[in-house]
Amino acid sequence: MGSKKKNRNVGIVGIGETKFSSHREDVNQPEMIHEAVKGALDDAGLSIDDIDCVVHGNMELFEMVHQPDLWHTLGTGAYGKDAYRLTTGGTTGGTLVAAADNLVASGMYDTVLAIGFEKLQEGHTTGGITNMADPLWARKLQSGALTDSAAVKVIAEFGEERARRAAMIYRIIMDKHACLNPNSHRAFGLDWDQMEDLMTSSPPLIGDLRLIHMCSQSDGACAMIFASEERAWEITDRPVWIRDHITIHREETLNLCVNYYPNETTHRFAAEKLYERNNIKDPIEYFDVFEMYDPSAWWGVDWLRDFFLLEGDEHLKLVEEKEIMINGRMPVNPSGGVIAANPIGATAMVRVAEAAKQVRGNAGPHQIPRPVNHAMASSFGGTMWTVLFMLEKELNW
């Protein structure tokens, strides 16, 4: 497919994350961002003077700050530097990584700092998301980001019993991962013997979507530093390379595109195109880790099929056989994923950051216990958008 060779290679050279939490009364927005920025600079062994350009993103209406990068300059370090702001809903963090990759690869900047953040405690998240709906046709019907559509779909295909068990196995795996990750917002210590109980006792939200399945509302920020190949080797002896990224959106407002495409999710479409142009034949065989933007356990289960281009019940088996656990055949979200922490504007960047840490081999207690050379990270946003990344340990393409 048409993507030419990159103008130059881009490496991830610094990663900073705040602890994710339901509340951060001790810091204001720029101060919270600064924690992540400082973390990324320290990780890379750089000072703010080494940065050429700062890319910033979140959702304005979640905190109701218009063009927040202006105020946040106090914490981002953008003063005197080139600065961009991009926002694409849940995919924002992914878009920021894609943008930083483009900005460095273009040759316009050698070292770019990207920052995703959200302080959801300061606003009203479900109200904010509801304001996404079309004010004329849909706003009065929308219920934030809560939907049981994935549950309905999985249940219809595999039956209530198997579907509910798979969703709960997925959920407990994610919690076990979250318990290993010191930055997690929610880590309950769930265990297998609680499965039956959780499937019936967790408060239902919509249909078969229960509170335990759903992601949190978190405060937190993530910052990453990207550098050109030449610069990357000066900064670190283990840069993680961004091999490729693809963004696929879908959002019908005027129904112009009815029947134009087959009924296929943007996740599967993005994965197909990305694998095709990078010549990946068997993604489960190829990738050593996948950090997925999984807003609920139901979506997590369902989307495994799309991202890995699986057929039938292969994705359910991956879950049921616990192959997606940190020590399994295809580890998914060793960080605990989005159910463990969801500061929306940062969430998608955290996926890339966590995947990159796994490739570096220094993720900490949640490091996958075997070499990680090839990583994939996904972003999800809007009602159905995807940004998908391939990261590599070696320049192998």
Partner 1 sequence: MRRKVAVCAVAQIKNEPDIWYQRFQGMLFDCFESIVEQTGVTFDMEKGIRNVVTCSDDVFDARTISDSGMTDVVGAHYRGEEKTAQDGINALGYAMAAILSGHDDLILIMGHCKESQSESRQMCTNLAFDPFFCRPLGLDFLNASAFQARAYMEKSGVTDDHLARIVVRSRENGAKNPYARKNELLTKEAVLNSPMLSDPIRELHQYPVTDWAIGMLLSCEERAREFTDNPIYITGFGNCMDSYFLGDRDLTSNFALKKAAGRAFRMAGVKDAKDAFDIVELNDACAYQLPMWAEGVGLAEEGGGAWIDGNGMEKHNVNLSGGMLNGNPIMLGGLARTVEAFLQLRGEAGERQVDGVRKALAHGTTGPAGQHHGVIILEK
Partner 2 sequence: MSTAREDCFTMEGKLALPYQYFAGLTGSRFLISLRDQKKIKGLKCNKCNKIFVPPRSTCEICFEEISGNWVDLKNSGTVTGFTIIRYEEPHQPVKPPYILALIKLDGADTPLTHIVKGVPLSKMKVGMKVKAMFAKKSTSSIMDIDHFRPVEGKPKFEMGYTYDELEVGMSASFSKTISESDVYLFAGISGDFNPMHLNEEFAKMTPFGTRIAHGALPQSLIAPVLGMKLPGLGTVALEIMARFKAPTYFGDTITATGEVVEKLEKKRWVRMALTWTNQKDELVAEGSALVIPPMPLPQQAE
Binding residues (CB under 8 A) for partner 2: these are 24-31, 34, 47-48, 61, 63-64, 73-75, 77, 79-80, 119, 121-124, 127-128, 131, 135-136, 139
Contact between 229 and partner 1 (CB under 8 A)? no
What's phi and psi for 167, nearest 5 deg? -60, -40
**Residue 47 contacts which entry, partner 2, partner 1, none (Cβ below 5-8 A, type-dependent):** partner 2
Q: Determine the residue type at 387.
A: V
Residue of 147, 335, 347, 383 interacting with partner 1 (CB under 8 A): 383
What letter does residue 203 receive in the DSSP assignment?
A: P
Q: Min. distance of Cβ 23 from partner 2 in angstroms?
A: 8
Q: Min. distance of Cβ 118 from partner 2 in angstroms?
A: 13
Query: Whole-angstrom Cα distance, residue 385 to residue 381?
Result: 5
Contact between 128 and partner 1 (CB under 8 A)? yes
Q: Determine the residue type at 93.
A: G
Contact between 397 and partner 1 (CB under 8 A)? no
> Which among 124, 179, 169, 185 is positioned nearest to 323, based on CA atoms?
169
- For partner 2, the closer of residues 133 and 310 by Cβ is 133
**Residue 24 contacts which entry, partner 2, partner 1, none (Cβ below 5-8 A, type-dependent):** partner 2
Site string for partner 1, 183-212 (x = CB under 8 A): ------------------------------
Q: Are strands 111-119 and 219-228 parallel, antiparallel or unpaired?
A: antiparallel
SS (H, E, C) 120-185: HHHCCHHHHHHCCCCCCCCCCCCCCCCCCHHHHHHHHHHCHHHHHHHHHHHHHHHHHHHHHCCCCC
**Residue 6 contacts which entry, partner 1, partner 2, none (Cβ below 5-8 A, type-dependent):** partner 1
**Residue 3 contacts which entry, partner 1, partner 2, none (Cβ below 5-8 A, type-dependent):** partner 1
Quick check: 243 and 287 in contact, CB under 8 A? Answer: no
Considering only 14-22, 39-47, 100-108, 310-318, which stretch makes contact with partner 1 by CB under 8 A? 100-108
**Residue 119 contacts which entry, partner 1, partner 2, none (Cβ below 5-8 A, type-dependent):** partner 2
- For partner 2, the closer of residues 80 and 262 by Cβ is 80
Quote the Cα angle for 114-276-8, to 5°. 40
- For partner 2, the closer of residues 6 and 34 by Cβ is 34
For 216, residues 6+ apart whose C-beta sits below 8 A from its C-beta are 22, 185, 186, 339, 340, 341, 342
Q: Footprint of partner 1 on residues 341-370 (CB under 8 A)? A: none
